[in-house]
Structure 1
Amino acid sequence: MSSDRIGDLLVHVWPAAKADAPVVLAAHGITANGLAWGRVAHLLDGRVTLVAPDLRGRAGSRDAPGPYGIARHADDLIALLGALEIDRAVLAGHSMGAFVAAVAAARYPERVSEAVLVDGGLTFGLPPDADVDTVLAAVLGPAIERLSMTFPDRDAYRRFWQGHPAFAGEWTPEVEAYIQHDLVGDGPYRSSCVAEAVRTDGGQVLVDPGTLGAIHALTVPAVLLYAERGMLDDPQPLYNAERVAGLAVPAVAVPDTNHYSILIGEKGAQVVADHILAAAEAAG
């Protein structure tokens, strides 16, 4: 894996074993970074080239200027394809990144062969007057709380995440790299996430019509993979059979996963990798 700056963004690339292998471009969640795709990349095992940027306002791209927003991230993904001289790619996205992938695929279908949406991309159905800060705090819990916290050392940050119920039993070298990549400072440390970026992006995921309508406007093949448990490993998931009923995009439940382990855990990452490989193979 290599990490290089391309334009405003720090971009992580897990190269394929063959130069002509398909390319997959992956977008991370609202307070995450590109290394969240590390376990999936490991399981892809060089059969595709996986490209995962730190989105604007996070980790290695925290100094990238605004404005923020889902459409801006979508445009960044397509610009990244251009910079890498890639005509078409499979797009994958987790959580907020699934909304980014859906918007990019809806706006630029000629650049996208298929979209793999992981526990995100479908509206939560909130009213337009919903208070963004209150909803984000309630839904994201510790993930959003940490943005105002400081940590004396890297071990303290590791312990913080190991205490998160959704991460229990899912600690791997890839998870370690992902959470440590979030830190800035030299002690005390803090999360790299820019608060304005998180709030802007979160508000659009909650109520922006263009963001929420993208999954229904797709003209490229797509699939929605959803976890059976929630963000705190609780029994209330973001999606269930009732919520996805009637959705034109095929929806597949991923057993024994929560919102995080569907991407970082062994079982979830394997299902995501399998769907990415199927999409890449179908694209030729």
Structure 2
Amino acid sequence: MGQYITTNKGRNFYVHETPGEQGTIIGSHGLTGNHKQLQYYQEAFSGTYRFISYDILGRGNSGAAAETSSIETHADHLLDLIATLEIERPILLGYSMGAYISAIVASQLADTDGLILLDGAGQADESTKQLVLPSLERLKKTYSNPNQYVEEAKKLYTRLNIDWDQQMEEAVLYEIAKDEHFWRNKSNLQTITRDFESFYTFKSENVFAHIECPAFLLIATGSIGDQGPLFKEEGYAEIKKQLSRLQTEVTPVNHYELVFNKQPKIISQIEAFLSQKGVKS
């Protein structure tokens, strides 16, 4: 069920919630995404865990992001949302940028029950910039109709080994809105670029040293085109060093296949992690 939530501090979020009895998972999506990026994970855990996904400010149907937005401010916003919804002992699941956000929250929220990092919160390097920054140019484009946007997105995603189906098309259509005479992505290029730049000021040693809950790290080693993975495996060294209660898994799929294609093996790995002693079940 989708709904709009105004937080205790006056922020406006679009939230999608599915029911479950074995604790609450809160999913934070990637840099240019929205809550639909996590739809396969939400479907997999619905009925077992209460699963809350949401559009980060400046994305989807949530309110605009502030001019000072960064992964740190988005973490503050998530803490505000958790407090507003009165969620106790949350399990934080973050993909890509959402992993940075989830890690920061876990370092500040004493009753965090578990942390799931899906190919994110590692050290971003120059190759990460080379992969991400050119892809942001699409945020400046305008389209005469939604189908034009869909066709362009379809070409992009199928080149990235994404299975194109009705659910994928609906997720892409959710990204755009009509602006006077044209259609454009709902996200603002300046906001997205600023948030991406904050990856490089992330002080991992100041975050992971304060995380006490069990953590699950998934590293996606699949190449994006011919340019290698988005985050290099060695970029996760600090996480492995700082987190004593860490389960690490490696998948050969690429960063985008991780969320846009169904991943039953990864779901099983997360289920096993959640069933371990120390994580609410």
* TM-score tier after normalising by the smaller chain length: 0.7 to 0.9
Separation in 1 of the partners of 2:56 and 2:78? Answer: 9
How far apart are 1:202 and its partner, in Å?
Answer: 1.0
Match of 1:131 in 2: none
Q: Distance in 2 between matches of 1:185 and 1:96?
A: 26
Please point out which of 263, 278, 284 is paired with 2:259.
263
1:237 — aligned with what?
Answer: 229
Structure number with the bigger relative contact order (C-alpha 8 A, sep ≥ 6) is 1
- Aligned residue type for 2:43: H
**Residue correspondence of structure 1 range 15-34 to structure 2 within 5 A:** 15-16=18-19, 18=20, 20-34=21-35
Query: TM-score, with normalisation over the residues of structure 1?
Result: 0.83
- 1:143 to 2:135 alignment: yes
Q: Percent identity?
A: 22
Name 1:111's counterpart in structure 2.
111
Deviations 1:124-146 (A, max 9, x none): 256xxxxxxx974x222563121
**Mapping of 1:65-76 within 5 angstroms?**
65-76=66-77
Which segments of structure 1 move beyond 6 Å, counting only runs of 4 or more?
Answer: none
Which of 152, 155, 164 pairs up with 1:171?
A: 164
Q: Please name the residue that 2:101 is paired with.
A: 100
- Inter-partner Cα distance in structure 1 for 2:3 and 2:135: 24
Q: Give unpaired runs (5+ residues) of structure 2.
A: none
The CA deviation at 1:254 is: 1.4
Contact 2:38 2:259 in 1 (8 A): yes
CA spacing shift, 1:101–1:150, aligned 2, 3 Å: same
* Contact 1:166/1:258, CA 8 A, preserved across alignment: no
CA distance in 2, matches of 1:208, 1:241: 17
Name the CA shift for 1:200/1:79 in 2 (closer, same or farther; >3 Å).
Answer: same
1:117 Cα deviation from its structure 2 partner: 0.5
Helix, strand or coil: the match of 2:117?
strand
Distance 1:13 1:94 in 2: 16
- Over 3 Å counting, the alpha-carbon distance change for 1:217 and 1:275 in structure 2 is farther
Tell me the distance in 2 between the aligned counterparts of 1:243 and 1:152.
41
Name the residue aligned to 2:176: 183
- Report the Cα offset of residue 237 of structure 1: 1.3
Q: Is contact 1:24–1:90 with CA below 8 Å preserved after alignment?
A: yes
Partner of 1:123: 123
Matched residue SS, 1:117: strand
Identify if the C-alpha distance between structure 1 residues 234 and 218 changes in structure 2 by more than 3 Å, giving closer, same or farther.
farther
Residues 18, 42 of structure 2: 8 Å contact kept: no
* Residue identity opposite 1:124 in structure 2: A
DSSP-derived class of the 1:226 partner? strand
Any idea what SS the aligned residue of 2:105 has? helix
**Mapped partners of 1:212, 1:53: distance in 2:** 27
Q: Report the equivalent of 1:274.
A: 268
Q: Is contact 1:124-1:206 (8 Å) kept? A: yes
Match of 1:2 in 2: 2
Per-residue deviation, residues 199-235 of structure 1 (Å, max 9, x unmatched): 22111102343x67524542221121121214x3446
SS of 1:190's partner is strand
How big is each residue's C-alpha offset from its partner over 1:68-95, in whole Å with a ceiling of 9 and x where there is no partner? 1111111211221111121121101111
Q: Which residue of 2 aligns with 1:129?
A: none
Q: Distance in 2 between matches of 1:38 and 1:117?
A: 16
The answer for unaligned runs of 5 or more in structure 1 is: 127-133
Which residue in 2 is equivalent to 1:157? 149
